[in-house]
Every structure is written in C-alpha cells, then in structure tokens.
Chain A
Amino acid sequence: MSHPKDRVPPLSRREFLRRAAMTGVAVPSLAAILAACGSDSGGGGGGGSTGPSSGGLQLARPDNPVTLAVTDDNPAIADGLSPEAGPLKIFGYNDYIYKKVRNQFGDRYGVDVEYTVFDTPDEMVSKMQSNGSDFDLLVTVTLENVGKLAQGGLIQPLNKTYLPTFEDQLWTGIPDFYDVGRQYSAPYVVFTTGISCRNDLITDDIGAMDNPYDIFWDTTNEGQVHLLNGSRDTLATALLRGGYDPNEDDPAIMETIKQDLLDGADAMGWKYDHVDYTELSTNGWEIHGTWSGQMVYYQYYLPKGLDITSLSYSWPPQGAAGKPGLVSHDLFAISKGAANPVLAHNFIDFMYEPDNALANYTYEGYQPTVLSLDKETALAKGFLPPSLDYTFVTEDMLPMGVTELELAPAVNQLYQQIYQEVTGGA
C-alpha cells in the first residue's frame, strides 16, 4: 500500500471515477447536456428520500445530507505519525489567516509556512485539479465544492486523532449535512453575506428597503457600487433580488438572471472583487457586496478622517422586509497528495486553540467556529466595534439565511458562463 505522502498524479481520480461506474459519455454539445439536465431536475426535484442528484453525484442539501464515501485508494493517514519537516503549503483567500498566527505555528513546529492565494472558489477548484498535490492545507473550501473535491479524490479524509482541540472546541451549531460526520472537512469561520455601505455618503437606509438588493441596481450610485466576485456570489445577488434560490437550476430563470445582471452591469458600471477593505483606503466605493467578517477588518484600513461608524452592514434577513440572505461557513481540507499531512492536521488543531482563534479573529474579523469566542467576549476585548455588533453571527441567525450549495456539473458550468459574460472575464 503506498504511503499517503507519495505524490499522486491527478490522473488517478479518473481511475476512481471509472471504478465508481460513472460511464464516460461521448459528449454532445453543451446545449444537449443542459437540455438533458433540465429534464432531470424537473423530474427529480420533488420530495422523497432522494434529493437532487446528477448522474450519480449526490448534491447535498439541508434536507438531503450526504455522507461522503471514504475509499481504499484515498485513505486517511495513519495514527501517531510525527510532524514532517515542512514547509507547510497553505492555499487560501488572500489575507485569510493572520500572518502572526501562521508564524506562531511555524515557530512551534519549527517549519516554514507558505501561503498561496486564489481569487475565487472556481480558481481554487481548477488549481486543485491540475496541481492539487502541491498544496497541503486548503482554507476556504466552500460548501458547494467540498463534495466535488472529495468525490473527485482531490482531498483526503481527516484523521480525528490529530484534532483533539477541534473536537473539543467546535461550535456544535454548525450544520454538517454536506459532509456528515465531518470526514473530509473542518469548519474554519462562519459569516453572512450582505451589503456594506458608507453611511456618510449614502443616505438610503438599506435595511429598511423593501428589497435591499435593489440598491445594487440604483443608478443614483452609478460607478460607486462593487459586487462580490466569483460565479456563485455574483449571481446570488441577482437571484436573491428576484426572490429565487441561490442554487437555482432552471435554465429559463437563469436566462432572466443573466439579463438582470447584464442590464445592471451596463447601467451601473460594477466592479467585482472582495478587497473592499483596501479599496476603502482610497474611497473606491460607496456600496459593496461583502461578507460580515470584512466589516471588522475595515478598522485597519480606514482612510484619514473616516471613522468605523461611517460604515454600516445590512443583512437582508435582519432588515425590515426580511428578504433572504446568505449565511455560510468556510472549511479546512487537506489535499490528497499533501506532502505534509500531519502538519496540516496540526494546523487545523492549532487554529482551534482559544488563544490562536482569538488572535486570528482580532485581525481577520471573521469569527471562528469555536465555543471560546462569543459576542460578549469580542465586544469586551474591543475587537468588535460596537457600531457593528450585529455583524457577529449568533446561533439564531443560522436558520434565517440560505446557503450556496453544490450544483449539478452542467448547471455549475452555466453559472460560470453567465459569470464570464457578465464580468467580461475580468
């Protein structure tokens, strides 16, 4: 049996697929695939014990939990191994783990920590397919990708014997329907997706609006509005505005969404990014689609003369009209061909230690899914600005929101094509 540390070329996942009896189909054009998919989801969407699925792939939903298979050719590492020599290679969003915390880990284990950045979850999946074994630890595996990565054999099962603190400190309110038993993933941070606004420049009360998402299409703010990038987040803005499910798969509805986005992009001159905090320092925006953690992060990027109270966050479920909004959490995962899997496990455990979780929170603003940190502590220690205390995700907020989840492959590709057309490949 080969040692899990041996690098495995990406071809092996195709072997896995063949063995799992996924018939390779001589591919017709994408239109034909979509047509077939449309008829599939029309039939299989109703109730019953089997939720949405696509040609054998189980798509996890809250009412359709998925237990990811652990197979012999992708086993977890053995117990009791000692940490490797490093360097530990982490792959995540930019600035998503506080550098000091990374360095502290490096000091404790005597290893170097390298951090590679990706811009969108789509890019992460692409890179994992071509060079996954170059990375050890993945930060920000989003819920919609974890099933794909596990079933495609790109991430390895976790060995919980290395994660005692994790088991101890994990906030149990976090659901695990996408990976029952948390075999492949460990939650990192929890957040909501909402609308950030410069209340010194914008007089509208976004929370009180009938449909807060309309603010993105409001031409009085033309040129000053940015959306979150990434095919799911950008399209979710239009989907939620139209009252649809962020995992919508009806091609006709997607066509109207595309049109909404194209109209908006032309009229509003949107930019798409998630670096609202750095743009804040150059007054680059007045309205920005954002994640709740960014709001706390802003404190460190305020330009001269601007106070944190000039920034407001609006999460539509908390607004007057109670419109739907996204809530989610990001995950750690370990890549299959990781050269340092033990270190990767150690890092996950390290992040769950109360001191480290707090230290990371002070810089990141994204709240870790740990029992040791709650709203009172964050406020008391001065890390959470009082004017933004409602951005802290509490347990009662979790059922209020909806989540972006895995889509059938053809639908995913449709989303990416719409995204490409709306953003012009930016």
Chain B
Amino acid sequence: MSATATSLGARVRGWTMNPWARAHFLWVIAIAYVVWTLLPVFIAVAFSFNAGKAQTTWQGFSLTRWYVSDVNSLWKDETLRSALFQSLKLSSLVVLIAVPFGVGFALALDRWQARSASVSNFLMLFSFITPEIAIGVGLFLMFTQLVSGVGLGFKAQLVGLSMFEMAYPVIVVRARLLSIGKQYEEAAMDLGATPIGAMRRVLFPMLSPAIFASVAIVFASAIDNFVISQRLSVDASTQTIPIIIYSSARRSPLPSLNALATVTLVSSTVLVAAAALLYRRFTRIERGSPA
C-alpha cells in the first residue's frame, strides 16, 4: 500500500515540479474558463428543449414544444417572432450603413494627410469608448426633443446604432490597410492603371477579408445591442431580442425565450463561421497555399 502511495505521490510531485509545470496549471485555468464561459449558455440552449415550463428543473425532452407547437412557442407567439424579425432587419440595415461608411472612413484616414484627419479619428475613437448609456440618453433626448417629428422608433434605432457600430469597421480596416501598405497600388499604377482602377482591382480585393470580418463583427454586435436599441424603442414592434430577453428574464420566463435565444445563437454562429471561411479563402492567396 505504501509503495503504491509513494509512487503515486512521486508521480504527482513529478507532475507538479516539472519545469513546464506552469503549463499544467494554465491548462486547468484555461479549461475551467471555457467551461465557466460556455456551460451556462449550453444549459440555456438545452432548456429550450424542456418538456415542461420550468427553467430550473429538467422535465423531459421535447423537440418542438417551445419552438413550434405550444401556444407560447417561438413560432406562435407573435411578440417573440416579431422580435426575431426586428433584430434581423435592424442588424442587416445597420451593417449596410455602418460598413461602407466605416470602410470609407478608414481609407480616408489612411490616405489623408491633413490635421483634420486626426480630429475625425479622435471623434471616431471617442464614440467607441463612451459608455453606451450616455450615447443612448443623448439620442433619446435628441429624438424626443429636437427632432421629435422623427421621434423614437425604428428609424431612430437604425441611425443611432449604425453610428455606434461604425467604429468597428474603421478599426479592422485600418489595421488591414496598415499591413497591406501602398506598394501594390503603386505598382499597379506604374503598370498603367488609373487611380480608381488601382483601387478597384487591387486594393478592394485585398481589403475584402477585412470587410468580411467587419460585416460579421457589426452584425453580431448589432444583434446583441441592448442599451441604445432599448432607449430608442417604443412599442412591441420596435423591440429586439435583447430587449425581450431583458424584460422577460425578470418575470419567470418560459422556455420559448430560450428557444428565441438559441435561434439567434445559431444564426450568429453560422454567419461568423461563414465569414471566417470566406476570410480564410481570400487570404489563402496571400498566405501562399495553393488556391
């Protein structure tokens, strides 16, 4: 008994006193972190398939109750369905505004030499780190006092959110522009291309990974946005998914809410995965592997 105990002890001691022992300690931390971060989400997803109404007791498996069949399910409850539709609509339109504006801004900042560039840049960064509640309150007051003809609602949410999300494409695209440098465009123009042509045929293809990344980031961020969308929302038709989750979470929500969250999660994951795959495909040329 003692022989095995000492050999076990020796092995444990060997494991911990190994010069790379810190790696083991880090492995434990890293795995614990992943579990801590993701397990609650998986449990919430699992409960969307709960056969009963409870959120804390597993009452059996039901694939469709909270997705399609129950009267309060995601499919039948028009509040949930409308929130899903609203979120997708708002996020898509935000992407259509924020990404082009942001990419243009990044290009301008990169190429523009005047001092006013740094003012614009400063403004952009400022919008990025201001607490969202301050921006939300400001937009709320503006749309209810100054331009009350427009008022709160979808249009307000669209312009406010697209402003807030613009910073992401700027940051991503600027980083990419820095690493691309100017030599490719210059080479193209030495070979006879016009400046616009060089931009179209050389720069933008090289920027496309960054643009894809921006689309994914802005979409995921917009669909998750809470503070600004809530401040500017009015009635049930301008409520997005985070707003619904927030207001329902405090009132014994049904698993149909989990179903809504799961559907959002799956669509975001699919989009991000698609963006990542496209990113890899477009950068494969640069990284030198066979196309």
Interface check A313, CB cutoff 8 A = no
In A9-37, which residues have CB < 8 Å from any B CB? 9-11
In the complex, whether B190 has a CB less than 8 A from a CB of chain A is no
Given pairs A10-B148, A89-B235, 9 additional interface contacts (CB within 8 A) = A11-B148, A94-B251, A114-B236, A114-B237, A116-B234, A130-B140, A134-B234, A275-B250, A275-B252
A135, B152: Cβ atoms closer than 8 Å: no
Q: Nearest B residue to A303 by beta-carbon distance? A: B54
**Interface pair A10/B153, CB less than 8 Å apart:** no
Kindly list chain A residues whose C-beta atoms are within 8 Å of the C-beta of B140.
130
Q: Does A362 contact B (CB under 8 A)?
A: no
Is B149 engaged at the interface, CB distance under 8 Å to the other chain? Answer: yes
From residue A192, how far is it (CB to closest CB) to chain B in Å?
23
Size category, A interface: 20 to 34
Which chain A residues border B144 with CB–CB below 8 Å?
Answer: 10, 129-131
- Among A46-54, A276-284, A374-382, the stretch that binds chain B is A276-284
Which residues of B line the A interface, CB within 8 A?
Answer: 56, 79, 140, 144, 148-149, 151-153, 234-237, 247, 250-252
Chain A at the B interface: SS class: mixed
Write 10 A-B pairs (CB below 8 A) sorted by A numbering. Answer: A9-B148, A10-B148, A11-B148, A116-B234, A116-B236, A130-B144, A131-B144, A134-B153, A134-B235, A282-B252
Sorted nearest first, the 3 A-B pairs with minimum C-beta distance are A278-B252, A116-B235, A130-B144
Q: Within the assembled complex, what's the spacing in Å between the Cα atoms of A275 and B236?
A: 19
Contact B251 A278 (CB under 8 A): yes
Q: Are A131 and B236 in contact (CB under 8 A)?
A: no
**Interface status of A371 (Cβ within 8 A of chain B):** no
Q: Is A91 an interface residue (CB 8 A)?
A: yes
Interface status of A320 (Cβ within 8 A of chain B) = no
Q: A115 contacts B236, CB within 8 Å?
A: yes
Chain B residues with CB under 8 A of A275: 250-252
Chain A residues lying within 8 Å of B235, measured Cβ to Cβ, are 89, 91, 114, 116, 131, 134-135
Complex: chain B residue closest to A10, CB-CB: B148
Give chain B residues whose Cβ lies under 8 Å from the Cβ of A278: 251-252
Seen from chain A, the residues whose Cβ lies within 8 Å of a Cβ on chain B are: 9-11, 89, 91, 94, 114-117, 127, 129-131, 134-135, 273, 275, 278-279, 281-282
Q: Which residue of B lies closest to A112 (CB)?
A: B78
- Distance in Å: Cβ of B136 to nearest Cβ of chain A: 14
Residues of B within 8 A of A91 (CB): 235
**Of the candidates B148, B149, B151, B247, which one forms a contact with A117 in the assembled complex, judged by CB atoms under 8 Å apart?**
B247
A89 vs B237: C-alpha distance when bound (angstroms): 10
**B151 adjacent to A9 (CB under 8 Å):** yes
**Choice from A9, A10, A89, A279 contacting B252 with Cβ under 8 Å:** A279
Residue from the list B151, B234, B252 in contact with A281, Cβ < 8 A: B252
Distance to closest chain B CB from A234 (angstroms):
17
A115 to B250, CA, bound (A): 19
Complex-state Cα separation, A126 to B229, whole angstroms: 17
Which residues of B lie under 8 Å from residue A10 when comparing CB positions?
Answer: 144, 148
CB distance from B192 to the nearest CB of A (A): 58
Please indicate the chain B residues that have their CB under 8 angstroms from the CB of A130 in the complex.
140, 144, 148, 151-152
| Residues on A with beta carbons closer than 8 Å to the beta carbon of B250 | 273, 275
Residues in B whose Cβ lies below 8 Å from that of A135: 235
CB distance from A213 to the nearest CB of B (A): 26
Looking across the interface, which residue of chain B has its beta carbon closest to that of A135? B235
A278 vs B79: C-alpha distance when bound (angstroms): 19
Q: Residues of B contacting A9 with CB < 8 Å?
A: 148-149, 151
- List, in ascending order, chain A residues with CB within 8 A of B148's CB: 9-11, 130
**CB-nearest residue of chain A relative to B236?**
A116
In whole angstroms, how far apart are the Cα atoms of A255 and B199 in the complex?
Answer: 69
**Chain A nearest CB, measured from B43 CB (Å):** 17
What residues of chain A lie closer than 8 Å to B252, measured between beta carbons? 275, 278-279, 281-282
Distance to closest chain B CB from A288 (angstroms): 14
Question: A131 and B251: CB pair below 8 A?
Answer: no
Most buried by B among A89, A129, A131: A131
- Contact, CB under 8 Å: B237 / A131: no
Q: How far is the CA of A127 from the CA of B79 in the complex (A)?
A: 19
Kindly state the separation between the CA atoms of A131 and B233 in the bound complex, as whole angstroms: 10
Q: How far is the CA of A282 from the CA of B251 in the complex (A)?
A: 11
> B286 → chain A, closest Cβ, in Å?
50
Q: Are A127 and B234 in contact (CB under 8 A)?
A: yes
Q: Report the minimum CB–CB distance from B171 to chain A (whole Å).
A: 33
Give bound CA distance, A341 to B216, whole Å.
43
| Shortest Cβ distance from A284 into B: residue | B252
- Complex: how many Å from CA A251 to CA B188? 78
State A209–B140 Cα separation when bound (angstroms).
48
